[in-house]
Amino acid sequence: MREILFRGKQANNGKWAFGYLFDDGLIDRKRAFVGGLVVTDAKDTTSDRYEIRIVFYEVDPATIGQYTGLTDKNGVKIFEGDIITCRQYLGGNFVDYHIEKGDVEMKFGAFGLHRKQGYYRPFKDWLEDYEFEVTGNIHDNPELLRKEDTKC
In a domain, 40, yes or no: yes
In a domain, 94, yes or no: yes
Do 103 and 138 meet the contact criterion of CB atoms below 8 Å apart? Answer: yes
Do 34 and 6 meet the contact criterion of CB atoms below 8 Å apart? Answer: yes
Same domain for 129 and 72:
yes
Q: Which of 42, 62, 82 is the last residue of a domain?
A: 62
Contacts of 76 by beta carbon, 8 Å cutoff, 6+ apart: 134
The predicted pLDDT at position 94 comes to 57
In a domain, 109, yes or no: yes
Find the domain containing 51 and state its range: 6-62
In a domain, 1, yes or no: no
Same domain for 52 and 33:
yes
Do 53 and 19 meet the contact criterion of CB atoms below 8 Å apart? Answer: no
Q: What pTM, to 2 d.p., does this model score?
A: 0.81
Q: What is the mean pLDDT of each run of 10 residues along the chain (152 residues)?
A: 90 95 80 89 69 91 93 93 83 62 85 77 75 91 69 40
Same domain for 118 and 89:
yes
In a domain, 100, yes or no: yes
Distance CA 108, CA 124 (A): 13
Same domain for 128 and 74:
yes
